Amino acid sequence: MTAAFREEIRSWLEKHLSGEFAHARGLGGPGREHEGHEVRLAWERLLGAAGWTCLGWPGEHGGREASLAEQVVFHEEYARAQAPARVGHIGEGLIGPTVIDYGTEEQKRRFLPPIRLGEELWCQGYSEPEAGSDLANVQTRARLEGGEWVITGQKVWTSLAHVADWCFALCRTEPGSARHRGLSYLLIPMDQPGVEVRPIVQLTGTSEFNEVFFDGARTAAANILGAPGDGWRVAMATLGYERGASTLGQQIGFQREFDRVVETARRTGAAEDPVLRDRLVRSWLELRIMRLNALRTMTSLAAGEPGPEVSIAKLYWSEWHRRLGELAQAAQGRAGLVADGPPYELNDLQRLYLFSRADTIYAGSSEIQRNIIAERTLGLPKA
Ligand SMILES: Cc1cc2nc3c(=O)[nH]c(=O)nc-3n(C[C@H](O)[C@H](O)[C@H](O)COP(=O)(O)OP(=O)(O)OC[C@H]3O[C@@H](n4cnc5c(N)ncnc54)[C@H](O)[C@@H]3O)c2cc1C
């Protein structure tokens, strides 16, 4: 059953990753989101039109109702074919499932089709200067005025806000409220005078996340998911979708990066160093362990019981990937310390080293994952 499905995806990708899309292979992804946005958007629309987005969504919303196993197969084949990194992943993976679970019928009709067809892109407006790990400290305010929400405040680290059409944002809608209470989950159009997006330049020299300033930004009163004041519950549900089937596809990309590090270590002679060889072997073994862990996570997700596995998986892959970045630098030797050309041209391994520093921060930092494992799994006292 999944073998036929695998074959169908494989031959579709082979056939369509040609012509204008042949050059899109390998473009984009974490740390490389600046690459080929336009061609990747066209690719997203092609995927959508052919029914290869939102595979797990219910049929009534245009999904294929694909099983978890089928979704894993899709992500594996997608990574194997080096298809371009998706530009619609925040819509498909985060806000789409939240609208399915918490949206009204009208919201489902309005927001789901453009996500599925790659016609509207989304960004996630949670973090603020004083609300990151401590998300309940959100200060962005919104009040109802003349049938619209009027929003004022600042978000930060907002990935892909510069290309997004919509932002789902956690806002304080009850004046004087604190912590988890009085928050609402608003859907805000980005293209309006009250929204200013300022790119943040990263260590890699490129910008994929931004500061977003709301200064009297407006959205219709109906553009709220869940009830006013119930935003925390909806926001936590969204975070719960930030896991799952793409993990095994991600590991195919990791294997490719690992192979490149080994090739480089051979070429530069760094592989002669027994200490480096030992680190490479360890890294290879840990990648195998990661796969087994991911399969275990899939099993518990399929059983509808996401538990601490999700935090264990995030902690494990992000720490591993950061160490791989360090290995990538060691494999290049001294040449890895110098950029290729002006003003800031990084090779793939240098980019891997610099961007993998972010892996242990986004989607819950390593310290926060350890707190979750300690408190919820090991039953240790609260931090
Ligand atoms: C590449 C990237 C993309 C991102 N994209 C988005 C996005 O699209 N939308 C969005 O809303 N946010 C996004 N973020 C923000 C991300 O969610 C936050 O950076 C993250 O939650 C950490 O918050 P912070 O940066 O405010 O750090 P802080 O919360 O201030 O943490 C600083 C340090 O203190 C540690 N720490 C904090 N609290 C505790 C604790 N209780 N116990 C132990 N240690 C603790 C942290 O682990 C960290 O090391 C992105 C971040 C990155 C790096």
Supply the pLDDT for residue 244: 58
Supply the pLDDT for residue 31: 86
In tens, the pLDDT along 192-230 reads: 999 999 999 998 889 999 999 999 999 999 999 999 999
Give the list of residues 6+ apart from residue 137 with CB closer than 8 angstroms, or none.
128, 130, 131, 179
Domain boundaries, the chain: 2-87, 122-229, 246-377
Are the C-beta atoms of residues 159 and 124 closer than 8 Å to each other? Answer: yes
Q: Which of 35, 242, 326, 375 is catalytic?
A: 242
Supply the pLDDT for residue 68: 84
Distance CA 105, CA 86 (A): 27
Ligand 1 lining (C-beta closer than 6 Å): 123-127, 132-134, 157-159, 209, 358, 361-362, 365, 367-368, 371, 383
CATH class of the structural domain 246-377: mainly alpha
Supply the pLDDT for residue 344: 77
Q: How far is the CA of 46 from the centre of ligand 1 (A)?
A: 34
CB atoms within 10 A of CB 345: 11
**Looking at the domain that runs over 2-87, which CATH code has it been given?**
1.10.540.10
Q: Can you say how many angstroms the Cα of residue 321 is from the centroid of all Cα atoms in its chain?
A: 15
Supply the pLDDT for residue 299: 78
Annotated catalytic residue 309: no
Q: How far is the CA of 16 from the centre of ligand 1 (A)?
A: 38
Q: How far is the CA of 20 from the centre of ligand 1 (A)?
A: 38
Distance CA 244, CA 366 (A): 18
Supply the pLDDT for residue 300: 76
What superfamily would CATH give domain 122-229?
Butyryl-CoA Dehydrogenase, subunit A, domain 2 (2.40.110.10)
Ligand 1 atom having least distance to the Cα of 202:
1
Residue showing tokens 């987005």: 53
Closest CA to 231 of 131, 301, 314, 369: 131
At residue 313, φ and ψ (nearest 5 deg) are -65, -45
pLDDT per residue of the chain (383 residues) written in tens, 0 to 9: 689 999 999 999 999 999 999 999 999 988 889 999 999 999 999 999 999 999 999 999 999 999 888 988 999 999 999 999 999 999 999 999 999 999 999 999 999 999 999 999 999 999 999 999 999 999 999 999 999 999 999 999 999 999 999 999 999 999 999 999 999 999 999 999 999 999 999 988 899 999 999 999 999 999 999 999 999 999 999 988 876 566 777 888 999 999 999 999 999 999 999 999 999 999 999 999 998 888 887 777 777 766 777 888 899 999 999 999 999 999 999 999 998 777 778 999 999 999 999 999 999 999 999 999 999 889 999 87
Terminal Cα-to-Cα distance of the chain (whole angstroms):
47
